[in-house]
Amino acid sequence: MGYPRVHFTSWCRIACVFLFALAEFCTGCVRTYIPPPISSGAGILVVDGFINAGNDSTYITLSRSAPLQDSAGIQKETNAFVYIEGSDYSLIALPEIQMGTYACAPFQAGTGVQYRLKIGTQNGSQYQSDFVPVQVSPPIDSVSWARTDSGSVTVYVTTHNPIDSEKFYLWTYTETWEFHPVYESYYVVEGGLWSPREDYLSLYTCWHTQQSTNLLLANSSNLSHNIIYENPIEHIVNNSWQISVDYSILVEQQVLSAQAYNYYQVLKQNTELTGSLFDSQPTSINGNIHNVNNSLEPVIGQIYCSTVTEQRIFIHNNQLPNWYVHLPLPNDSCQLFSYGPGDDPAIAAGILIPADLFGDVAEAACADCRLNGTNVMPFWWQ
């Protein structure tokens, strides 16, 4: 018995239908998916900061959460009433020093006194955190650094605490570095005329400062001794402009309660570690701040009270052989352009002269360090 015959054009029709369906399927895979707006979670009070029981001021930032599709940015919670209340009935006001930021001067924590934060917003809502004890941070044993096999630099912190009950640590840091632009600028254009620049040195040496943004946590609860040894806190990529001349890092250390540590672990997971299907997925964040009259209202924030210890180190470029500096500019953006007597001076508007009167010119960012920092040297700089 023979097979049924199918006309050639029928096969073509079948193939075309199949290919069309396949094309529809494939193109459907790459179509942009626009999720529906998510409105839940908007307008939640966010409290950021801690009660500083040491020799520095306390800063508390209040804001409101917003939907992901909201392009307006963070909404600051202004004109609020913020206080630190002690279990000894003491009360310290935190006036608003800028939009959404409230602060008070250093205060002397009482022996055995616990503290909490109290907030009153303009809509009449009252919030307060749980009372928390004062955690005393031990001194930092050392801040050290080492160069990796790839040539990068890793900064470490080492500490120990003789009080075994305080085993949870949080670090922040401030980086400051000196740098120079690619070229020196000796001339300036004013009114279409070239003239020697008297302040060229002020354009050549600057400093840039930035704060840490990642949550830097560690604990010794699973160790036989309360010691944190060479915990990495910063990684500087090889040839970065951060160590083009001199670099300094100020590390600040606090100790946390187990509850505060767990809160920041969840926060770290939700903000830093979620990037694929195989990462831990976001979970709810339960802090210790509550609406006094509505316990069901969600509030984001965890208030703790700690002293702060710190240590600063310097790293000099001459300690790093073969550290070839790349400023935060594309390589081709610092090309030199020829300028001669017949050229229109207007082309030099915003462009600085690094050398001779009729020589080469460069983009301003390549010759004016102030565009990437400040030329005012920090008072503590070596």
Residue 272 lies in a domain: yes
Residue 121 lies in a domain: yes
Question: For residues 15 and 236, which has the higher predicted lDDT (pLDDT)?
Answer: 236
Q: Is residue 46 a contact partner of residue 301, using CB atoms and an 8 Å limit?
A: yes
Residue 24 lies in a domain: no
Domain total for the chain?
A: 2
Residues 157, 231 within the same domain: yes
Residues 90, 102 within the same domain: yes
The residue out of 274, 303, 332 marking a domain boundary is: 303
Residue 11 lies in a domain: no
SS3 state of residue 296: coil
- How far apart are alpha carbons 230 and 166 in whole angstroms? 18
Residues 45, 87 within the same domain: yes
Mean pLDDT of 35-50: 72
Residues 236, 281 within the same domain: no
Residues 278, 145 within the same domain: no
> CB-hemisphere CA count at 13 Å for 59?
7
Question: For residues 3 and 144, which has the higher predicted lDDT (pLDDT)?
Answer: 144
The residue out of 288, 303, 318 marking a domain boundary is: 303
Residues 230, 342 within the same domain: yes
Residues 244, 153 within the same domain: yes
pLDDT at 167 over 60: yes
Q: What is the pLDDT of residue 318?
A: 94
Residues 86, 234 within the same domain: no
- How far apart are alpha carbons 316 and 381 in whole angstroms? 13
Residues 296, 322 within the same domain: no
Residue 34 lies in a domain: no
Question: Could you tell me the pTM of the whole model?
Answer: 0.80
For residue range 309-352, list pLDDT tens digits in order. Answer: 999 999 999 999 999 887 776 656 677 777 665 565 555 545 55
Q: Is residue 206 a contact partner of residue 373, using CB atoms and an 8 Å limit?
A: yes
234 lies in which domain range?
A: 135-257+304-371
pLDDT at 71 over 70: no
Residue 193 lies in a domain: yes
- CATH code where residue 247 lies: 2.60.40.10
For residue range 79-138, list pLDDT tens digits in order. Answer: 999 999 999 999 999 999 999 999 999 999 999 999 999 999 999 999 999 999 999 999
Residues 48, 163 within the same domain: no
Q: Is residue 276 a contact partner of residue 340, using CB atoms and an 8 Å limit?
A: no
Residues 49, 94 within the same domain: yes
- How far apart are alpha carbons 314 and 320 in whole angstroms? 13
Residue 276 lies in a domain: yes
Residue 275 lies in a domain: yes
Residues 50, 65 within the same domain: yes
Q: What is the pLDDT of residue 10?
A: 38
